[in-house]
Structure 1
Amino acid sequence: MSQKELGYSADKDKTTITRIIDSLEQRNAIKRHKHPSDRRSFRIYLTQEGRELIQELQPIPDKVNKSACIGLSENEVLSFKQTLQTLQNQIIDETDRFKLSSTE
């Protein structure tokens, strides 16, 4: 994935994603390689250390999410997730429209 795509997927600005990538690279969790067709861009690759870090850390948000949803039915959780996804998509669309209108 390119650094730009990663920032977009993570909903982080360019500066923030660069800092995160720098930190992960120092921990040998990722490797950054120049994009083969775009010299200004980098491709980000997960290393074995990065895979192990994910395996180690993933249970934490899973446990927090499970605890936060105590008392909600499976349908309520699903509906909430769908609502959040809809809101996120609308925010992205509005942000994209704003960027387009500000460059015209």
Structure 2
Amino acid sequence: MVPLLLDLQRATHATLHHLTTALADLHLSPSELNALANLAVFPDGTGTVSELGAAAGVRPTTLTGIVDRLEQRDLLTRGPHPRDRRTVVLRLTPAGAEVAARVIDAMAELERRALAALPSGAAADFAGVLRALTEAAQ
């Protein structure tokens, strides 16, 4: 029997390949797509580097390069936190919000197609499994 985590890793790679191909005109890496999509679900498209790193599953040191590239493309800005000068705040630009919306739409469409044949409740059960795996790994 193949471990569930190995199946999950294969599914992750397949979905990242699909999304990168479907959004090839954006010329963004899977990590950049992931960062934009995660930042887009924060209130007002704004979050700290630590928050985005945790949501995207990326260490802050790795995230720095991703943020640098997205900032160079004017898809996000970074600036000081209003109450903590040690904290960096990331904010989607209007162009970044448009790109992030495309990424989320592509993710939602793939999810709809993948889940269409599954019985009612299967997606909620799967979401529970994902939450349990996330919690166990922390």
- Same fold, TM exceeding 0.5? yes
Which residue of 66, 71, 87 maps to 2:112? 66
- By relative contact order (CA 8 Å, sep 6+), the higher-ranking structure is 2
Superposition map of 1:17-28 within 5 A: 17-28=63-74
Between the two proteins, the alignment pairs up a number of residues equal to: 92
Counterpart residue number, 2:53: 7
Distance 1:49 1:24 in 2: 11
1:77 maps to 2:123: yes
Residue 3 of structure 1: how far off its partner (Å) = 0.7
* 2:82 maps to 1:42: no
- Report the identity percentage: 30
The structure whose Rg is larger is 1
Aligned to 2:137: 91
Structure 2 regions of 5+ residues with no counterpart?
Answer: 1-46
Q: TM-score, normalised by structure 2?
A: 0.59
In the TM superposition, residue 41 of structure 1 has moved relative to its aligned partner by: 2.7
Q: Which amino acid aligns with 2:54?
A: Y
Match of 1:30 in 2: 76
With normalisation by structure 1, the TM-score equals 0.76
